[in-house]
Amino acid sequence: MDYKPKKGDLVYLPSNIMIIGEGLAQNTSVPDRWLNLIEPTMGVMVEPNYNNENIYHKVHLQGDNWLVRTMDTLEVISSDKRNRSI
């Protein structure tokens, strides 16, 4: 099943991934901040396929918006929804 995220979806982010800030440091192409998640966490989808590219999603977690690689973003499915699709 293909996952096409929507704004407001709850997403699961595994441990040991790097997430980055959306801004750039002064006059460079280097992200202004980054964070290595050492524990799995949940976030809320703010903008799927950031900048209309299938590289990053913008996700809200820990009180701020971050860019997360699309391959590191997993859909959270309730057991009711899973049982209905079987």
pLDDT tens, N- to C-terminus, the chain (86 residues): 466 889 999 999 999 999 998 776 666 667 788 899 999 999 999 999 988 888 999 999 999 999 999 999 988 877 665 555 54
Residue 67's closest CA among 83, 45, 86?
45
68: nearest Cα among 31, 17, 32, 19: 19
- Nearest-CA neighbor of 70 among 60, 56, 59? 56
| Domain architecture of the chain: domains with CATH | 10-78 (2.30.30)
